[in-house]
Amino acid sequence: MGNRVAIVGIGHSKFGKRNDVSLNELAWEAIKAALDDSGLSQKDISFMSVGNFGYWSEEILPAVTVAEYAGIKCGSLRTEAACSSGSAALKIAYDHITSGSGKIAMAMGLEKMYNSPNSTIIELIGRAGNYFWEFENFGLTFPGYYALYATRYLHDFGYSEEDLCEAPVKAHHYGSKNKYAQFQKEITVEECMKSKYVARPLKIYDSSPITDGAAAVILASEDIARKINDTPVYIKGLGNATGSSYLGKRDDFTGLEAGRRAAEIAYKSAGISDPKNSFDLLEVHDCFSIAEVMAYEDLGIASKGKGLNMLKEHQTYHDGKFPVNPDGGLKAKGHPIGATGISQAVEITKQLRNEADPGRQVSINRGMALQHNIGGTGHYAYVTIYSRGD
């Protein structure tokens, strides 16, 4: 590794239906907050990567229009790694600094999904699976893909749909405590069970929503990080992997192989041998209830088949043994595709700085946290490990 890199500024827009702002204005909410948080100005940024899926956008060169609107003139690019586009943007900003290409970089993510009619969104996201075979021939869209995993998981390990509803109950609990979250209302298992099926056994409440939102982080090299911010949060390890787009080729429907490979690489790069006893919190990719459960297992926090039990026992609440998604996760905070990976990094930084809202701030003991961000149904996987101390 070259220079170590820290997050020295974070910014986050309100997530939700944001017809009140343009794409550029939405981005600016996050960028301005990150600049203010760091005390830096636009001219300090030496590179900007923008995570954006954007097939539904009014602007098809978002990196350019956002940079211009925000007064940023350094080099820029847009990254797309499906729902992990934000984490891909983060990796680029990280490598830009560790390589010595620059000292300070911004990674931001944004998405305005309400730009499109719902049916178009569902088609476009569905096409991001295996287009020719599974989408075109079988009509599978994303809820359908994850429903196959949920069916297999519930069957193999003897859980019920009620059990799976524990995931959105937790998510909405924390959404209710996060002012940036799209949904700020608690729900019960009963309400979840009564909600409409999207793709059996997954119901509306098992599914992350259509969301508009933006998030930004500013990264700096170690030698200047502490001058910018008293509590820099370091990136300690990264792992990433690419998986098959074709579910028919997968061996296993109770976990995501690319997620496991990415975690293994991240653990190796951060020197972590015991993931169960390493982190104060995890941010995981809960695009559907089943995805959160599989993440516990793919990351080695839960044994195979025990992930859902861990959720039922509230072990992954903010005051449990393994706090997960104390911001409400993709489910309740919202899932603006390109912004999600950056939003996770913002939450982790906030938590490791001890700056999260009461009722959702986790206890910081080890000073380490993990981010898990999946693109597609395990097409892309990005795992990033953060450390407050060093």
Task: Tell me whether residue 131 or residue 197 sits nearer to a second copy (CB atom).
Answer: 131
Contact region with a second copy (CB under 8 A), list: 125-133, 206-214, 312-320, 347-355:
125-133
Q: Which is nearer to a second copy, 96 or 203 (CB)?
A: 96
Angle at 239 between CA 146 and CA 16, to 5 degrees: 50
Closest CA to 171 of 293, 275, 256, 260: 293
**Which of 13, 79 has the CB closer to a second copy?**
79
| Phi, psi of 204, rounded to the nearest 5 degrees | -50, -45
Nearest to 2 by CA among 235, 204, 200: 235
Q: By rule CB under 8 A, what string of x and - marks binding of each residue 205-244 to a second copy?
A: ---------------------------------xxxxxxx
Q: Would strands 212-221 and 47-51 be described as parallel, antiparallel, or unpaired?
A: unpaired
* Options 40, 81, 147, 181; binder of a second copy; rule CB under 8 A: 81
Minimum separation from the CB atom of position 385 to a second copy (A): 14
Residue 135, C-beta contacts closer than 8 angstroms, at least 6 positions apart: 126, 127, 129, 141
Phi-psi region of 387 (alpha: psi -120 to 50; beta: other; left: phi over 0): beta
DSSP string, 170-211: HHHHHHTT-TT-S------HHHHHHSPEEETTEEGGGBPPP-
Strand 233-242 versus strand 5-12 pairing type: antiparallel
Cα dihedral 331, 336, 341, 343 sign: negative
- Kindly name the residue from 12, 96, 173, 335 that is annotated as catalytic: 335
Q: Judged by CB under 8 A, which of 175, 328, 336, 376 binds a second copy?
A: 376
Return the structure tokens found at 187: 């729900």
At 283, list the tokens: 């941010």
- Residue 128 within binding range of a second copy, rule CB under 8 A: yes
Q: What is the nearest approach in angstroms of a second copy to the Cβ of residue 158?
A: 32
Binding mask 91-120 for a second copy (x = CB under 8 A): xx-xxxxxxxx-------------------
372 is a catalytic site residue: no
Binding mask 133-172 for a second copy (x = CB under 8 A): ----------------------------------------
DSSP run (H or E) holding 313: none
> Cα angle at 27 between 231 and 118, to 5 degrees?
125
Q: Segment contacting a second copy (CB under 8 A): 30-38, 276-284, 342-350, 379-387? A: 379-387
* Structural tokens at position 173: 């609990």
Q: What track of x and - describes contact with a second copy for positions 239 through 268 (by CB under 8 A)?
A: xxxxxxxx--------------xx------
**180 vs 382, beta carbon nearer a second copy:** 382
Annotated active-site residue 287? The verdict is no
Q: Count other C-beta atoms under 10 Å from residue 358's C-beta.
A: 6
**Rounded distance, CA 95 to CA 301, Å?**
28
5 vs 324 by CB, closer to a second copy: 5
Name which of 60 and 389 has its Cβ closer to a second copy: 60
Which of 20, 36, 58, 390: binder of a second copy (CB under 8 A)? 58
Which residue ranges make up the site for a second copy (CB under 8 A)? 1-3, 47-48, 55, 58-61, 63-65, 67-68, 72-82, 85, 88, 91-92, 94-101, 124, 127-128, 131-132, 238-246, 261-262, 375-376, 379-382
Residues carrying an active site annotation = 83, 335
